[in-house]
Structure 1
């Protein structure tokens, strides 16, 4: 019989990429995590890891086993739901996570609405970046996340997670109030090709969206400043240090001498809801998803 605890260690190695990272997430020592996998391999009489350079990689047998492991995890989610069902009423703790803009504009009002409509439900919000949100879901430390779609996310077909479209968040060109483009209702982004630019820091998920939008308009932006926070970007624009693409969901400091100008073609990023495989059927998660779908259309108006 397969020891599910050992199987979870193997799933963690696949998710985090190394035995050391998996051990850290599971609060094991690397040697203890390795021992769990070796014992699982002995139980099944197959090799699960093989050397690759200085590290290891999953064998075909391990990849096959993981496909079953993900299905087992989804069934376990359903089993817990069946055992703890309270006549279908949302109740208990609901742990949600998301990047800063998602928390401010979507998750905070969602939590307030749920508190009014479902008094037995306790929503707990944790701000986290996109990769960290997937980690929290995988570890069981979060039940629902709002994430930005990036090429680095798990594939939509990854059965560990259920990812669904929530909304498209357009980018506006933000310029100083006295800038010639500030008088326009809509521009072609190529008209800002010769401007100095303020862009997200390289590790930001939005960096790729900004550079891709400029590339699609036929130019590479001259990036002279980098910022992590959208309000920092807005203040740099306000001081005449450059222009920037900022998502419409971002709530900027009021009264700054800046103007948002809509862009032809509506360059945008996609936001998704994400749960663990099977986790979306829980009544509390279903209630949260309904609230998010109601909030989404007005959030980017």
Structure 2
């Protein structure tokens, strides 16, 4: 009989990439995590980890085991949901995460609407970046997340997570209100090729979208300033320090002397909803997903 706790440690090593990070996630010491995996390997009679440089990597046997482990985890969660289900009525806590814009524009109004419709449902929101949102889902600390689709996300075929499209969030070119381009209703990004640019910080999930949009327009932007927060970006634009691409969902400080211009070619980022595998069948999560899909079309109008 496989000890599911040891299997969970192995899943954490696969998710986080190192025994140390996995141990931190499952709240044990690295030596205890290593011991759990060694014991699991002895129980199964196969090697699960092998040295790779200063770290370790999963063996083919471990990779095969993980495919079953993810299915076991999903079935176990479904069993818990079935036992706790109350005629399909959303009840209890619903833990959701999202990056700042998603929290402000989508998760907050979703929480209000769910509270009005289901008094016995308690929505708990945590602001989190994309990588942290996946970690929280994996660790069972969140039930639902809104994430930005990035090349660094787990692949859509990863059965640990159920990632589904929510909306396309277009990028607008933001310029000072007295800028020569400000009078246009729609702009070709190529017309801003020689401008000074304000871009997201390199670690931002939106950075690749901005660079890709400029590349598709035939130029590499001259980036003179970097910002993490969209309102900081907008204030830099207002002070005539450059132009920027800002997603339409971002709610900027009102009355700034700036103009938002729609772009030809519709550069955009894709937002996804994400649950653990099979988690979308939980009544509370299903209700939240319905609300999000009702809110999404008007959010980017």
**TM-score band (shorter)?**
over 0.9
Q: Provide the residue aligned with 2:78 in structure 1.
A: 78
Q: Provide the residue aligned with 1:148 in structure 2.
A: 148
**Secondary structure of the corresponding residue to residue 2 of structure 1:** coil
State the 1:278 CA deviation. 1.1
Query: Which whole-Å CA distance do the structure 1 matches of 2:248 and 2:9 have between them?
Result: 41
State the 1:27 CA deviation. 1.2
Query: Which whole-Å CA distance do the structure 2 matches of 1:106 and 1:133 have between them?
Result: 16
**Secondary structure of the corresponding residue to residue 296 of structure 1:** helix
**Secondary structure of the corresponding residue to residue 231 of structure 2:** helix
Alignment of 1:112 with 2:112, yes or no, is yes
Q: Provide the residue aligned with 1:65 in structure 2.
A: 65
Instruction: Please list the CA deviations of residues 111-165 of structure 1 after superposition, one character each: whole Å capped at 9, or x if unmatched.
Output: 0000000000000000000000000000000000000000000000000000000
Instruction: Please list the CA deviations of residues 173-205 of structure 1 after superposition, one character each: whole Å capped at 9, or x if unmatched.
Output: 000000011100001100000000000000000
Tell me the TM-score normalized by structure 1.
1.00
Matches within 5 A, 1:182-261: 182-261=182-261
State the 1:91 CA deviation. 0.2
Q: Provide the residue aligned with 1:97 in structure 2.
A: 97
Q: Provide the residue aligned with 1:275 in structure 2.
A: 275
Structure 1: give runs of 5+ residues left out of the alignment.
Answer: none
Q: Provide the residue aligned with 2:177 in structure 1.
A: 177
Q: Provide the residue aligned with 1:6 in structure 2.
A: 6
Q: Which runs of 4+ in 1 moved over 4 A?
A: none
State the 1:296 CA deviation. 0.2
Q: Provide the residue aligned with 1:265 in structure 2.
A: 265
Query: Which whole-Å CA distance do the structure 1 matches of 2:27 and 2:141 have between them?
Result: 14
Query: Which whole-Å CA distance do the structure 2 matches of 1:135 and 1:44 have between them?
Result: 28
Q: Provide the residue aligned with 1:18 in structure 2.
A: 18
Query: Which whole-Å CA distance do the structure 1 matches of 2:73 and 2:24 have between them?
Result: 21
State the 1:77 CA deviation. 1.4
**Secondary structure of the corresponding residue to residue 286 of structure 1:** helix
Structure 2: give runs of 5+ residues left out of the alignment.
Answer: none
State the 1:26 CA deviation. 1.1
Query: Which whole-Å CA distance do the structure 2 matches of 1:2 and 1:185 have between them?
Result: 63
Query: Which whole-Å CA distance do the structure 1 matches of 2:30 and 2:74 have between them?
Result: 27
Alignment of 1:51 with 2:31, yes or no, is no
